Amino acid sequence: MKAIALAAAALAAWTGAALAQEKPVTTAEIIAASAPSEWRPLDLSHTLVMTFGEGRTAVIELAPAFAPKTTANILALARAGYFDGLAIVRVQDNYVTQWGDPEEGDRARSLGAAAATLAPEWSRPRDRAIPFAPLPDRDGWALETGHSGGFPAARDRRDMWLTHCYGMVGVARGEAPDSGNGSGLYVVIGHSPRQLDRNITLAGRVVSGMEHLASLPRGTGALGFYERAEQRTPISSVRVAADLPDGGPAGRLELLRTDSASFAALTEARRNRRDAWYKRPAGHIDVCNVLLPARPRP
Amino acid sequence: MKAIALAAAALAAWTGAALAQEKPVTTAEIIAASAPSEWRPLDLSHTLVMTFGEGRTAVIELAPAFAPKTTANILALARAGYFDGLAIVRVQDNYVTQWGDPEEGDRARSLGAAAATLAPEWSRPRDRAIPFAPLPDRDGWALETGHSGGFPAARDRRDMWLTHCYGMVGVARGEAPDSGNGSGLYVVIGHSPRQLDRNITLAGRVVSGMEHLASLPRGTGALGFYERAEQRTPISSVRVAADLPDGGPAGRLELLRTDSASFAALTEARRNRRDAWYKRPAGHIDVCNVLLPARPRP
């Protein structure tokens, strides 16, 4: 069966040709050759487990280094049970899936201990205490891009910020910069809308379950909102992983460290594909094309 | 209801504030102010209408200027009824939806008048007869990007080629460069995999129905192939629009010309958003973030 380029096919091609490779070449080979110490567990204290629809689960790693107040607010909302029984209210093709309170306008729902408004956390001053592994590749949106603690990020001479790549989770807001508090969240499901960078607070990334959030029916109302209540996907619960036995599904995952040698090798392998399917390596990678591998813990 | 940035919301905000705007500012305003002559119908002779699933329809405009032999082959396959009764066989999250013959390996199915193999049409020499409206914005993957006859494209000093943006349709192939013939096609459903540019033939773009192709359940087999036949989405038919009465749904659409003043204004409005929601205009646009509007003909 014809399959356009991907690691597994490339791996099959290599091994099928019985070539003994000294050095791992493909994504799959590099991951297979990585050291256990290059992987990290999730910090369960700032990870969410969302269950929705018919038994779907998404694991979301929050980013306190970039959005400390927003992270704390979202954790408080989750612990107050705020999201339980709410719904996915909007899916706009090639843009975002968004969830929260469908009756938000009524302001009837208690926020528990969480704040109702939050100052923007759209970027933060550069700080050497916060890791940043730069990519050498040029970017049209920022002076420099790279990765920070597992998240795609960018920086200029003064500030650093998370970037709107596929799977990144942000905080819906109205026109006022402080009108987002984490009670409404969205995840990017299309080509990265980098124009949102530094216009809205990014608070984390979906590390597992993205395929369920991206494949929901698109809403037919303005901005992709669902027009009828029964079209929404109900959210059963959003829990802090640390509050679940062994972290629930979040406790069973590990992520490749973005400051590891295997991560650098993986990124280079995707910048210049060396498997037989590719005939012209790109010599370039976009920060939103970089693979951020997660896998079950051994 | 909080909604992250989009034209309609921005428009509502402007008009809600009762500001009389002399000049259109938002996407919606620019489209509303465009001249009828800035819109074009589809050329029905190289447009496909695919019906699939439960009454879904996608309209695909082919690109003979970039892939003449592939376009001719796909049209021949469609006219032979090749695709009728086949299926969507693969949906890989953040990558592609692919369709064709699930039993391809059996080679039992006739290609009609179409060729079984085709020389690659991954790029073509620059030609002044082929329009190219360049973007001034820098791109990491190519010397220059822009639009050509409604398609996102790139060029260097010698060649020009279509780019793998969301919604672009390409020709699945095996490892051999000539192994794609249009009998298996894919559409980009995630962050643009520009590393595929000039490695595989792009043959067109989905101009309507993309939301249905992007929201299918992801396959759980290798590369996102479905593991069981019943998971596939059946294709009822693929027809050349010119063979349908009045072009079918393709005859009822019009597209904003990519060489029009309103298209340039729209792109600038998205490069530097001037509506009240955005606080920091990006000053940049990626070729795959540019909007290519289609709407019902008046």
Radius of gyration of chain B (CA): 20
Burial B115-151 (b: 16+ CB within 10 A, else e): beebebbbbbeeeeeebbbebebebbbbebbbbbbbb
Residues of A in contact with B289 (CB under 8 A): 191, 193-195
Write down the pLDDT at residue B107: 59
d(CA B52, CA A267): 37
What single-letter DSSP state applies at residue A23? S
Tell me whether strands B253-256 and B294-296 are parallel, antiparallel or unpaired: antiparallel
Q: Considering CB atoms only, which of A175, A194, A273 is closest to B276? A: A175
Q: Where are the alpha helices (DSSP H) in B20-166?
A: 27-33, 68-79
Share of chain B above pLDDT 90, in %: 86
Residue B224 near residue B95 (C-beta atoms within 8 A):
yes
Write down the pLDDT at residue B62: 98
pLDDT tens by residue, B124-152 = 999 999 999 999 999 999 999 999 999 99
Going B213 to B218 to B223 to B229, the CA torsion angle's sign is negative
Write down the pLDDT at residue B19: 43
Structure tokens at B128: 């002044």
Whether the complex's predicted ipTM is more than 0.90 is answered with yes
Write down the pLDDT at residue B104: 72
In this predicted structure, the answer to whether residue A7 has a pLDDT above a threshold of 60 is: no
d(CA B152, CA B129): 17
* Tokens 């706009």 belong to residue: A92
d(CA A194, CA A183): 22
Write down the pLDDT at residue B32: 95
pLDDT tens by residue, A170-180 = 999 999 999 99
Write down the pLDDT at residue A25: 84
Residues of A in contact with B165 (CB under 8 A): 191
d(CA B136, CA B119): 33
Helix (H) or strand (E) segment spanning residue A73:
helix A68-79
Write down the pLDDT at residue B119: 96
d(CA A154, CA A139): 9
Residue B58 near residue B209 (C-beta atoms within 8 A):
yes
**A206 CB-near residues (< 8 Å, 6+ apart):** A58, A59, A60, A167, A168, A169, A187, A213
Query: Which residue stretches of chain B have pLDDT < 50?
Result: 5-21
Write down the pLDDT at residue B14: 33
CA distance A76 to chain B (A): 20
Residues of B in contact with A138 (CB under 8 A): 138, 140
Structure tokens at B191: 């962050």
* Tokens 């002559």 belong to residue: B37
Write down the pLDDT at residue B132: 96
Q: Which of B41, B61, B64, B60 is nearest to B235 (CA)?
A: B60
d(CA A206, CA A76): 19
What single-letter DSSP state applies at residue B5? S
Write down the pLDDT at residue B296: 97
Instruction: Give the pLDDT band (50/70/90) at residue A111.
Output: confident
- β-strand partners of B205: B61, B168
Mean pLDDT of chain A: 92
Instruction: Give the pLDDT band (50/70/90) at residue A108.
Output: low
pLDDT tens by residue, A13-65 = 333 333 444 678 888 999 999 999 999 999 999 999 999 999 999 999 999 99
What single-letter DSSP state applies at residue B278? -
pLDDT tens by residue, A128-157 = 999 999 999 999 999 999 999 999 999 999
pLDDT tens by residue, A234-284 = 999 999 999 999 999 999 999 999 999 999 999 999 999 988 999 999 999
Q: Considering CB atoms only, which of B4, B140, B196 is closest to A4? A: B196
Residues of A in contact with B8 (CB under 8 A): 222-223
- β-strand partners of A97: A91, A187
Q: Using a cut of 0.90, tell me whether the model's pTM lies above it.
A: yes
pLDDT tens by residue, A227-245 = 999 999 999 999 999 999 9
d(CA A295, CA A38): 12
Helix (H/G/I), strand (E/B), else coil: B2: coil
Contact A3 B172 (CB under 8 A): yes
Residue B43 backbone class (left: φ over 0; alpha: ψ -120 to 50; beta: rest): beta
Write down the pLDDT at residue A98: 98
